[in-house]
Structure 1
């Protein structure tokens, strides 16, 4: 009879460990995916040394992108008659934005504080999603509140800046 109780406790402990490991791995995967999705744009905005910086005046907008002439901020880069910027709720025709040109393309991303915060929006969403996983699967409510607070703060700051 003693071995059945010991066996039952061991299996409960193994299941608990398995749930914790799987949920922790899922939360880590969500956060890594958020960083990965954000880094594609954030690298151009945050690591600007050696990149062409300037302004774009949005002349035309399509369904997903807007275009306009690129005016360099420093004398080295050349002006371009048309560059492409992603159309978001914050990009309006007739407005001028500070941008960084992606190397080897005619695509630009917004620079400055608004561009940095906007680039990290996918991470903000991942923080919110990971908070749900951490609270529900790991039963770590304080850690979940910290993750949710960080995600909400990032998304709110990006909304306010853009």
Structure 2
């Protein structure tokens, strides 16, 4: 009995096709990875200006804002300690009489909410970007556990934001 093994030689066309398929798979992973990174970066950049002031007001005057009038796009009120009338831009309605901790941009007269609710609210664009990136990670990269973790973290932060905001 002979134990001769025969190796079948693949054709040039088949080897080229397998190489091209590998290159396409690599290109898909690179493209989807860059897309997810771009989405998260855009969300972070959109959040940064407001989040920076909410997390560390620095030289901005800080105090409390007592709301006097509210509309769908924001509220106005008296800022203490200066007594100036400032505007708090927010899509979530408040009632006149509420008092919030804020920092005020003196050149625009707009208030930014500080504290944990203000910080979470300022990072909302990043949270939305993480939700969108979770879809790209799960669907495009086939990294289901990572996508589930990313989406769950973003949903938890969104829920906490609205629980603290109201």
Q: Is the 8 A contact 2:54 2:103 kept in 1?
A: yes
Question: 2:43 corresponds to which residue?
Answer: 34
Question: 1:106 corresponds to which residue?
Answer: 109
Structure 1 runs (4+) deviating above 3 angstroms are none
TM-score (norm 1): 0.90
Question: 1:125 corresponds to which residue?
Answer: 128
Which whole-Å CA distance do the structure 2 matches of 1:105 and 1:42 have between them?
17
Question: 1:71 corresponds to which residue?
Answer: 80
User: What secondary structure is seen at the aligned counterpart in 1 of 2:42?
Assistant: helix
Q: Counterparts of 1:1-162 in structure 2 under 5 Å?
A: 2-72=11-81, 79-162=82-165
Deviation readout 1:62-120 (Å, 9 max, x if unpaired): 34121111103xxxxxx143101013325322211110112522000111111011111
Unaligned ranges ≥5, structure 2: 1-9
User: What secondary structure is seen at the aligned counterpart in 2 of 1:113?
Assistant: helix
Bigger radius of gyration = 2
User: What secondary structure is seen at the aligned counterpart in 2 of 1:10?
Assistant: helix
Which whole-Å CA distance do the structure 2 matches of 1:143 and 1:100 have between them?
37
Which whole-Å CA distance do the structure 1 matches of 2:143 and 2:53 have between them?
35
Which whole-Å CA distance do the structure 2 matches of 1:66 and 1:6 have between them?
67
Report the count of equivalent residues: 156
Which whole-Å CA distance do the structure 2 matches of 1:29 and 1:103 have between them?
33
Question: 1:75 corresponds to which residue?
Answer: none
Task: Give the RMSD, CA atoms, in angstroms.
Answer: 1.4
